[in-house]
Structure 1
Amino acid sequence: MTAERQERNGSRSRIAFRPGIALIVVLASLVAVPCFRFAAEASTTERVVVNRFTGLAIEGFDPVAYFVDACPERGIEDFEASEAGAVWRFRNEGNRASFVAHPDIYGPQFGGYDPIDVARGVTYAGNPRFWAIAGERLYLFGREDNRDAFAADPARFLREANSRWPVLQQGLAQ
């Protein structure tokens, strides 16, 4: 067999083999893509913003401290409570007890999502370092600019956010 003929025969056998591999890859992707898509959606759409690695709500900050200390304070592992599918941490037993008795008052509104973005019709996780208390409720913001805009006219943003929240909430995992 000449070198030219060997090259031709070798390339034919590789070509014949490739459609089989391509078929396997296509079939595997048909199965894998929906699984990955579901996993990504499940981990990013929850009713309360939770760190997907630690399970902590608002990154482990004490939600009651915003009211009592007027600043964000990290909670302690010894003082935890479970509420709304999330683990909440507190600085002391008194803050924990207050939260357990009234999670709707002390927990961040809109599940910790930025109210400016909720007013726009999207859910974007708030950052516990960008916060405001308005109407005796805690709001977390994704950006400092959003917090400043909210502080200028909270009634307007809350009116829009409250009207859009029920529909957005239905799209979040329970």
Structure 2
Amino acid sequence: MTAQRQQQNHGGHWPLFRRGIALFTLLAGLIAQDLAGHAAITERIVTDRFSGLAIGGFDPVAYFVDSKAVMGLEDFEAWQGGVVWRFHNEGNRASFLAHPEIYGPQFGGYDPVDVARGVTVAGNPRLWMIAGERLFLFSREASREAFAANPERYVQRANARWQTLQQELSR
């Protein structure tokens, strides 16, 4: 096909179409890169992949004040540590924002028994324990039972491996 016929068939818009595709590809790449960077930050805290909420939307402060797992409410959200957290009331939200290192689950909500072994397995917000005035989430009942028998041992081992595991999660 001659250049003249190509121009007639595409109304002279073919070069514009190609530039549009190139622009779209560039923008899609930038957005994907931004999302990948965001995912790297949030992977350090167990986040529900469907809702984007930390620890599945459970209120981390409620474990301490209500001694049970309580779902947070959309009206009481906060952005902290690269993720959205939900709380049952404004008081819990304020307490968490003042002291996230106390109320947030240890090891980002990953099972401390698995972290002590050098692997990251997301904890289940319904399988939890307060030990040493800190919140721990477990992936399975057997982990919670093992941890309860000797929390100091698991915390010490998990602390020794956590920094390396965090770096691996952020890749």
Q: Would the TM-score normalized by the shorter structure come out above 0.5?
A: yes
The alpha carbon displacement at 1:49 in A equals 0.6
The equivalent residue for 1:120 is 117
Runs of 4+ deviating beyond 2 Å: none
The alpha carbon displacement at 1:123 in A equals 0.4
The equivalent residue for 2:24 is none
Identical positions, percent: 69
The alpha carbon displacement at 1:150 in A equals 0.3
Structure exhibiting the larger radius of gyration computed from Cα positions: 1
**Is 1:63 the equivalent of 2:60?**
yes
| CA–CA distance in structure 1, aligned partners of residues 135 and 49 of structure 2 | 22
The equivalent residue for 2:156 is 159
What is the TM-score with the length of structure 2 in the denominator?
Answer: 0.75
Q: 1:148 aligns with which of 123, 133, 145?
A: 145
The alpha carbon displacement at 1:172 in A equals 1.4
What is the TM-score with the length of structure 1 in the denominator?
Answer: 0.74
Q: Deviations over 1:61-82 (max 9, x none)?
A: 0000000000000001000001
- Aligned residue type for 1:134: A
Q: Deviations over 1:106-146 (max 9, x none)?
A: 00000000000000000000000000111100000000110
1:36-51 paired onto structure 2 within 5 Å:
46-51=43-48
The equivalent residue for 2:78 is 81
Gaps of 5+ in 2: 1-31
- Aligned residue type for 2:56: E
| CA–CA distance in structure 1, aligned partners of residues 118 and 132 of structure 2 | 22
